[in-house]
A and B are shown apart, each in its own frame.
Chain A
Amino acid sequence: MLRITGGKVYDPANKIDGQIKDLNIDADGKFSDGQCDSRTIDATGMIVMPGGVDVHTHVAGGAINFARAMTPEDHRRTQAFIRTKTRRSGLGGMAPTTFATGYLYAGMGWTTVNEAAVPVLSARHTHEELADIPIVDKSTLTLMANNEIMLDQMEAGEYERARDVVAWYIWAAKSYGVKAVNPGGVAAWKWGGDARNLSSPIEGYNKLTPGTIVTQLARICDDLGLPHPMHLHCNDLGAPGNIKTTLDTLKHLEGSRAHIAHSQYHAYGGDGWETICSATAELAEYFNSHPNITTDAGAVIFGDTVTITADGPWQHLLYKLTGRKWGNLDVENETGCGIVPYTYRPSNLVNAVQWACGLELLLLIQSPWQVFLSTDHPNGGCFWRYPEIIKLLMSRDFRDECIKKLPSNIKNKIVLPEIAREYTLMDVATSMSAGPARALGLKQKGNLGTGCDGDVVIYDQEDDPGEMFAHPRYVIKAGEVIIDDGEIREAPDGREYIAKPFYDPATNDFMRPLFEDCYTMQFENYPVEIERVHGASIHDCKNDQDS
């Protein structure tokens, strides 16, 4: 179907580091050994990588759609996509519309995205929104760490029950894995509280602590054989001195797999906004000695954005700090959600520290298989600004230039100026594609080997990595040329990955009365019908465990 010849290939999964290699993609859209005699792309002098994989982003669902409603002033000034024969209209900006989201990701060479926070109650909405995001393949994570039915099981010491409940919810939501946000803290927020340390009981519970939730939920994800481990947004996000909480959380995870989301927001020293400083060295050291844990940077880029998170109490604090608009949506039994528009300014000391922390983690964690490119879109900045971060990682000179613009009293608060490391193209390919694909358990992604999905991005080699990564020469999805010289050629529908963990069939009967107690819809109407998930591709966890 498609042949790519003569390009310098960077394929970390197969340890190919810049060798010239030809690639063939068969009629099923997968890499094959056999040659085919259809279209050939001459990639001589060009750089070839697997399509990008975003391990943590917020592109669809109630929260981002709430953010869209709250930011018409940004839609007004941002990039607009005009309808053409192959393309729907839409708007870019801080919270892009669905069609534009697909075009912007693909336009940058990303072909898979993981929507990291979905309440089960509105999962039906999320899947319908994802169906309107063209080109990229998608997966979703279900918010679990504040689900009261599950917390009650943990409080009662019923581990197996809790595990069945989690599996039941994943399948009800038709999601791919588990997201934990501020374990216990969002449940406490339902009464206006929070949970900022791991060992105190959660408001409304006698003995259940955030630490217990972290440990048990990570174990549940492992026991269920989910392709992606627990995806954890730690307690105490954004607060000065929160490194203690983060390291404490990591200790609770010993022996389990886990993915720590947007760790930049969890790597601060100091004890107040005046004394906040980077504590990334400590955190990176932990990652460097614990290869079972992965993370994404959650890097901050200066400029306007809108923050959205299930961490309701943090957003209330941010609203009080900034005095800007505040959206909050508590979801019955399951989770919360907060939205506050925000501007990161280089002149602001806290923002400057945050900016440095994201880059420091990406540079200090030695293995790019462990730390992935993300801005926690749109929280730290919009995903379409990833090329700017790649440039900062690849060029120390450019970093030094940017550091000069920060407030002078930032000295001694950050370690970025001392870091000499510069990302190689192999590092970039690992951090933007091969690494996150492996962490997500998507074996067919981020890999140019035979049998894997034919998702490829091809760049003209340029001196400025920011320019190079912002404007791929070709983007290929499942063997189809999607982007050719900046033009969107095709906009096919993507697939959605779903996990099917095993649970005791009696869980249904167990759930029904508890459900009827706290929810406001019919039990039968709650699980998302599989027919509503467009392009569903089911990962059977049980079989995986057996084999």
Chain B
Amino acid sequence: MGGKVTCTLGEVKQRADFIIYWGGNPAECHPRHFSKYTLMQKSKFLPKGRKDRTMVLVDIRETKSVKASDIFLQVRPGKDFELITILRALVKEQQVTDEQIEETGLSREALNDLVSRMKAAKFGCMFFGMGLSMTRGKHMNSAALLTLAAEMNAFTKFVAMPMRGHGNVTGADVIMRWQTGFPFGISFNRGYPRYNPGEFSTIDVLVRGDCDAAFIIGADPGGTMPQPAINHLKRIPTIVLDPHITHTSKLARVHITTAAQGIAAPGTAYRMDEIPMPLKPALKSPYPSDEEVVRRINEAIAKKPFWLPEGSMPQMVTEQV
């Protein structure tokens, strides 16, 4: 297991005749996804648009996205990993018992039908949301689905893509990766980047009370994080850059109002397929951009003495512990 077999959204628009949404509700959460990229678009390969495409929705409950789907498969909550594993077996014509299938809440006929449609597709794409990646099994579920997509390429063209949300979370990922090698959960406390989700991810650092200051840009953890993490944010000097008043700005020691990206400040946002989009502001704002504030803070810090006395630490670690 490992890796990701994917494509840019234009490939889906152009070619995907078979689309699975798994653990997500795009009709409400990504309302432009169907019309811009996946279902409604016509292309030279799919001249009839929606009629040339099949859409399958896998979810634990009926959402508004069901209406847009051709096939709805209601999986029993917490059984996504089992279902994906069964599909991987069926794709390879391996034995699966009735009890195993029953556990998922679906029938053998429905799964056989799904598998034969997947194999008959010319270009299949699976989008997965937080209903898969943030429920029981978490990253194991995502890995299983990505593996299914990779293995499908023995039969036909198949790709998979996470349905990412929130403002430019992909952009943060991309830049952290080129600067540090890791997407998130990074600690610099030894002077170089180390990665350990579960130890260095924000919630864990806050809940343990490891940090003595917090600097928050473009996020509202005060509204989403567990209470012990929020409590720690209240205890320490928390600085927030945000155009709006948020849960976090209310508990912060300092709130600097900034211009909204893409509306009053320029910049770049990365789409969920990691394509960078330039942001062109339509309005002027009396407030500075996030970038300007960070730059000025950086300049102020640069005037202070360096964090370590000269020669007090090695410049390089040849083998990490």
Contacts and interface: CB of A to CB of B under 8 A. Distances in A.
A65 B318 contact: no
A520 B13 CA distance: 8
Nearest to A133: B178
Interface in A206-256: none
A247 B15 CA distance: 34
B181 interface: yes
A332 B178 contact: no
B179 A90 contact: yes
Most central of A190, A330, A339 by chain B CB within 10 Å: A330
B150 interface: yes
Given A331-B8, A518-B43, A84 B179 contact: no
Interface string B1-21: 111111111110111000000
B274 interface: yes
B49 interface: no
Contact of A324 (B2, B191, B195): B2
A82 B317 contact: yes
A156 to B, nearest CB: 14
Contact of A129 (B13, B14, B178, B183): B178
A332 B6 contact: no
A210 B183 CA distance: 38
Interface in B146-160: 150, 153-154, 156-157, 159
A69 B13 contact: no
Interface stretch (B225-233, B242-250, B275-283): B275-283
B156 A192 contact: yes
A521 B277 contact: yes
Contact of B317 (A80, A84, A122): A80
Given A99-B179, A132-B178, A80 B5 contact: no
A219 to B, nearest CB: 27
B10 A332 contact: yes
Contact of B150 (A65, A82, A326): A326
B200 interface: no
B165 interface: no
Interface stretch (B99-107, B251-259, B288-296, B308-316): B308-316
Given A90-B179, A190-B11, A529-B278, A79 B318 contact: yes
Interface stretch (A70-78, A471-479, A533-541): A70-78
Contacts of B180: 89-91, 97
Given A68-B178, A77-B319, A89 B10 contact: no
B40 interface: no
B37 A70 contact: no
A242 B35 CA distance: 44
Interface in A13-70: 60, 62, 65-66, 68-70
A140 to B, nearest CB: 15
B178 A60 contact: yes
A190 B174 CA distance: 25
A371 to B, nearest CB: 31
A365 B1 CA distance: 42
Interface residues of B, number: 59
A78 B320 contact: yes
Contacts of B274: 62, 122, 125, 329
Interface in B168-214: 174, 177-183, 188, 190-195
A91 B178 contact: no
Interface residues of A, number: 63
Contacts of A75: 181-182, 193, 195
Given A89-B193, A124-B278, A332-B11, A517 B44 contact: yes
B14 to A, nearest CB: 6
Nearest to B161: A329
B235 interface: no
Contacts of A83: 188, 191-192
A261 to B, nearest CB: 23
B123 interface: yes
A329 B273 CA distance: 9
A329 B6 CA distance: 5
Interface in B96-121: none
B192 A330 contact: no
A91 B181 contact: yes
B320 A325 contact: no
Contacts of B183: 69
Contacts of B278: 124, 525, 529
B193 A90 contact: yes
Given A325-B2, A520-B8, A84 B315 contact: yes
Contacts of A502: none
Interface in A301-345: 316, 319-320, 324-333, 339-340
B179 A327 contact: no
A80 B192 contact: yes
Contacts of A340: 3
B37 to A, nearest CB: 6
Contacts of A319: 3, 150
A87 interface: yes
Contacts of A191: 15, 122-123, 157
Contact of B314 (A82, A320, A339): A82
A95 interface: yes
Given A70-B2, A75-B195, A95 B276 contact: no
A65 B193 contact: no
A98 B178 contact: yes
Contact of A332 (B1, B2, B14): B14
Nearest to B182: A72
A80 B320 contact: yes
A487 B311 CA distance: 12
A132 B177 CA distance: 12
A81 interface: yes
B61 interface: no
A122 B10 CA distance: 13
B203 to A, nearest CB: 19
Interface string A291-306: 0000000000000000
B7 A330 contact: yes
Contact of A330 (B8, B44, B191): B8
A93 B318 CA distance: 10
Nearest 8 interchain pairs by C-beta: A332-B10, A325-B2, A330-B7, A325-B3, A82-B191, A80-B192, A192-B157, A75-B181
11 contacts: A60-B178, A82-B316, A82-B317, A89-B188, A97-B180, A122-B274, A122-B275, A191-B15, A324-B2, A518-B13, A525-B277
Interface of A: 60, 62, 65-66, 68-70, 72, 75-85, 87-91, 93, 95, 97-99, 121-122, 124-125, 128-129, 132, 190-192, 316, 319-320, 324-333, 339-340, 487-488, 517-521, 525, 529
Given A76-B320, A518-B13, 7 more contacts: A78-B320, A81-B192, A82-B317, A95-B181, A518-B14, A520-B13, A525-B280
